[in-house]
Structure 1
Amino acid sequence: MARKNTCSWTGWSLGLCLIGLWRVQQTQVEAVASIDRIQKHNLQLLAEQLNLGWRAFCDAPVDEGVMSLFEGINPSDARLHVMTITNQSVQLPIKSIPELRDFDIKPERKTLIYVNAFHTADSYFSVQEHLALLQTTRRDLNVIVVDFATHVAQLYYTVRHHLSVHGYFIYKLLSALTEAGIAPEDITIAGHSVGANIAALGADLFAKSSKRLVGQLIAIDPATMCRTTDILVRQTVAGRVVVLHGEGDVFGVRLPLGHVDIYPNGIGYFPRKKLQPGCDSRICSHMYPFVLFMEALIEGVMIPATKCDNWAKFRQGVCSFENTINIGLKYPSNAKGLYFCMTQPNPPFTYMEHGLRYQARRPEKQNTPKA
């Protein structure tokens, strides 16, 4: 039987009992403070290791027992962002997937599911602000944001344990949308970094269960992950798989993975080229293609790329210039292979049609988003 924290009012024992209670309370306060200090150290350690790359991050000697006490370590902490008919974005717990049909989801529209697993501080280049703007400006689409990145440090460290659960949530979302009358071929699922691999896993689970493919997966610099077996972007998971590369050294996958692989500025394809225009860190280069994708979708800016056998031939101008595509959601049915383009360090990032030809970069003001 549990001992109650009560004191008898008889005799001199009252004073000793009160002292005992005070000591218990002090011990509890000290335990809470100690847990908070350990978690603060955990997050500081993870932030430091992330700058060194995925391998260092995944091997960080954190206290997982303490981490499990905080929100964000469980995939069920994720949130859905959907639109109402009054043009308002509503945040729902991910367990509310069956309720999506009550919101502004229309079968006659194309659908974009964006899987967010990347967080930046609030700024002009904030991932969260871009996604909110995407939802309110692209009302011609059903835009659903699945946000796993509310507590991103926790997510990144534990995704190796919970990746299958994250993917299962995406599978359930795809199933709910198709049950609501949306055709799988009208669905594009997109994600950046870890989100690209979660999106690919969800699409793959859906394909194996329903025997139908979603129309398109757009993988934005898919993460190299803690284990190579967790790099899940491949051609078989969707009708068309487009990979928009960004860093290709520490954080992003270098190898072509899709039907279409786009390498802006050759970064991620050519090993000696490390940083995107205006970037001074690998994390910035990892984020750069996300900003290109958002500029194309939100601003409607044309960012063309041309098919070429490799980066060396692009530099020489020996490319198939009649075979060009634009970064975004729509790609020609015959688009396949490697595509290259040049882009700028500052918005607007596009050189338009001039980006189809290689040009040596001149020193310019560094003002590209920093992650």
Structure 2
Amino acid sequence: MKRVGATIRISSWPSNLLLLLCLAAPTLAATGIDRIQEHNLQLLSEQLNRGWRAFCDAPVDEGVMCLFEGISPSDARLHVMTITNQSVELPIKSIPELRDFDIDPLRKTLLYVNAFHSADSIFSVQEHLTLLRTTRRDLNIIVVDFASNVAQLYYAVRHHLSVHGYSIYKLLSALTDAGIEAGDITLAGHSVGANIAALGADLFSKSSRRLVGQLIAIDPATMCRTTDILVRQSVAARVVVVHGEGDVFGVRVPLGHVDIYPNGIGYFPRKKLQPGCETKICSHMYPFVLFMEALIEGVMIPATKCESWAKFRQGDCSYQNTLNIGLIYPPDAKGLYFCMTQSNPPFTYMEHGLRYKAKRPEPSNSLAEQPARD
């Protein structure tokens, strides 16, 4: 066994040796495998704070990582609701069984792709998604979780992006086979999840010659390779991008029919952090929290169309052309949209957020005061 931090390449090992290694995992764990994996996770967490490129190039011991649950694409989970209002977790292989759950063709459908793991807190990704599933009973909501931990996220980025995208394609096919109109489906995802969702939508459109109604990409990740930035206008009838960081983690350039830049972050190079944030990873998460506040709490977070951030600061915008962050957008919405938001719930300034102000009073309990995230 190589030293901690070294990369073990297993592709050329005999299959029977791999089998013996995996069968021996409990014994090996007692002799240091757990310590190596602990080092892997610590290294990945540290590198994530430096950005996707550093994260993807982290010198982890991949041979050890393969011994732990959560590595295989088949470990991904589906979360759906039953007709008795119970949230159920299913393995990804249960896609054909979706028609047995509370999927109503008369309702709009939200398929949320999660590929971002955060520590448990009031701003936890997992907690927000749980609230979303259990509160929005007016929608068919299916959550696909590809990131139960940072190890799985690592492999999703490095090795399994195409497999995960294919899973989303199969989900879309199962939903339309169950009577859901493609145009009534909204795909949404944050960070890596946005690119997985875009790939699934693209595969679905090429196979079925139909477009899903909408893709909402929340600060799409810059990814390990630029070729893996898959959010583009052609993958859905409407593509909405809500930007958040635009420097290390999120894509800066406009990618959708509609691109929303809260507080100008991700558009204006000199502005780096969202309100209440002290780290770039916090700014990367910020638009996810805005989106969840709009969906779960029904809070209006309006943005106005503007030619640029400079025009927004000057008040030279089309204030007759506004929209709200969420699921429903005006049919003619197109271009760049800006707004001002604050550092803690409720994040919206309502209609006052449509105009720039250099300084606003900052409420207490900001994001910066919350527990650190992965």
Shared fold per TM-score greater than 0.5: yes
Counterpart position of 1:313: 311
Distance (Å, rounded) in 2 between the aligned partners of 1:136 and 1:29: 41
Counterpart position of 2:125: 127
Q: Contact 1:47–1:153 (CA<8 Å) still a contact in 2?
A: no
Counterpart position of 2:170: 172
Counterpart position of 1:367: 366
Helix, strand or coil at the partner of 1:314: helix
Q: Which has the larger radius of gyration?
A: 1
Q: Is 1:345 the counterpart of 2:352 in the alignment?
A: no
Q: Counterparts in 2 of 1:125-164, with a 5 A limit?
A: 125-164=123-162
Distance (Å, rounded) in 1 between the aligned partners of 2:156 and 2:30: 23
Distance (Å, rounded) in 1 between the aligned partners of 2:210 and 2:93: 24
Q: Contact 1:72–1:155 (CA<8 Å) still a contact in 2?
A: no
| 1:267-305 CA-partner distances (Å, limit 9, x unpaired) | 000011000000000010000000000010111111000
Q: Is 1:60 the counterpart of 2:90 in the alignment?
A: no
TM-score, reference length from structure 1? 0.91
| 1:238-282 CA-partner distances (Å, limit 9, x unpaired) | 000000000000000000000000000000000110000000000
Q: Contact 1:67–1:154 (CA<8 Å) still a contact in 2?
A: no
Distance (Å, rounded) in 2 between the aligned partners of 1:145 and 1:358: 35
* Amino acid aligned to 1:114: Y
Q: Contact 1:130–1:294 (CA<8 Å) still a contact in 2?
A: yes
Counterpart position of 1:11: none
> What are structure 2's unaligned runs of at least 5 residues?
1-24
Q: Counterparts in 2 of 1:90-239, with a 5 A limit?
A: 90-239=88-237
Shift of 1:28: 8.0
Distance (Å, rounded) in 1 between the aligned partners of 2:206 and 2:137: 31
Q: 1:155 to 1:338 in 2, by over 3 A?
A: same
> What are structure 1's unaligned runs of at least 5 residues?
1-26
Counterpart position of 2:22: none
Q: Is 1:250 the counterpart of 2:248 in the alignment?
A: yes
Distance (Å, rounded) in 1 between the aligned partners of 2:225 and 2:255: 16
Q: What is the percentage of aligned positions where both structures have the same residue?
A: 83
* Amino acid aligned to 1:335: A
Distance (Å, rounded) in 1 between the aligned partners of 2:29 and 2:280: 39
Shift of 1:30: 5.7
Distance (Å, rounded) in 1 between the aligned partners of 2:337 and 2:29: 56
| 1:318-366 CA-partner distances (Å, limit 9, x unpaired) | 0000000000000011100000000010100000000000011346346
* Amino acid aligned to 1:54: W
Q: Contact 1:254–1:269 (CA<8 Å) still a contact in 2?
A: yes
Distance (Å, rounded) in 2 between the aligned partners of 1:30 and 1:86: 44
Residue range with higher mean Cα deviation, 345-354 or 128-137: 128-137
Distance (Å, rounded) in 1 between the aligned partners of 2:215 and 2:141: 14
Q: 1:30 to 1:197 in 2, by over 3 A?
A: closer
Shift of 1:161: 1.3
